[in-house]
Structure formats: C-alpha cells, structure tokens
Amino acid sequence: MRYCPQCANELQRRFAHGRVRPVCTKCGYIFFHNPKVAVGVVAVEDGKILLVRRNVDPQRGLWSYPAGYVDEGERVEDALRREVREETNLDLRLGHLLGVYSEEASPVVFIVYTGTIAGGKAEPGPEVSEVGFFPPNALPPMAFDHDQRVLKDWALLGTRTTGIL
C-alpha cells in the first residue's frame, strides 16, 4: 500500500508495533500486512494421496495437495470443498484438521485437513495440468517447503483419522 486509506497521504516506512510498517505521517494510520489464508487437503483413496500438478506460478509444473485461498466471508471447510472441485472435479468428504502451517517470511497461513473422495471423476481444472493419486512413499517432486511437513504430520496421525465433518 502506497497511500493512506484514511487521508490519502503517502505512507512512509517507520517502526511501529515492533517492526517496520507503512505509516501515515499525517494522520498516524498504520498499515498492517495481514497474511492470506489458504486451505488444502491430504485426501486418500485406496491408500494413495491425491495430488495436483500446478499449472500456475509459483512452482508451475510441480505437484502439491489440492488447495487454494479462502475468500472473505467464506467458511474454511466450504473453501476447501470449492477448491478441490475447481482443481480436480472431485467432491470431498472432510476428515480431521491436520495442521496449520506458516513460515516466517511467507504471506500465507496454510490450513490442512484430511479427507476422502466422495464422488466425481478426476479431471484437471484450469489451474492444474494433471490430477494423480500416488503412494505416500513415492510422491513426485513437490512444490512447497511445507509439503513434506504436511506429509510427515499425516503419517504421524495414522489411523486416528476416523471422524468426518
């Protein structure tokens, strides 16, 4: 953000609330960069994990879990079902919350659930070039640093993922 949303004065980077932030020198407004919230799923069918090959940047051509951003006013669970449908043409049955992942320099908070396929035919949507199911011990090259942490947490969860939302 370059200009103050309250008085239209140009913002300057100043120390405020523990770090350097855009601050209006006229009215004192402080702009806080809030993270985007994304949601994803480790969905399993016949012992294999559903993955999508990304057809958009960042990490175009690499694989990841079906995921996407939560829209303002949208329930996280509804966003996940929407994203899975858009990316894979599959319907999702949600299981347990697997984890919440964030990195110090990343603008994204990633919320991950477990799940199973409830219907549909696997077909790639516009943001993915392929949809595939892979054994947990033979995953293709993954797109993001958190992907391995997600897989590790899923493996630790084991057979305790019996609840359905």
The residues that are catalytic are: 130
| Residue 37 CB neighbours (<10 A) | 17
CA–centroid distance for 36 within its chain: 9
Kindly list the distances between the CA atom of residue 1 and the CA atoms of 12, 29, 42, 71, in Å, as whole numbers in the listed order: 10, 12, 35, 20
H runs (alpha helix) in the chain: 76-88, 145-157
8 A C-beta contact, residue 46 and residue 63: no
Q: Which residues contact 32 (CB under 8 A, 6 or more apart)?
A: 17, 21
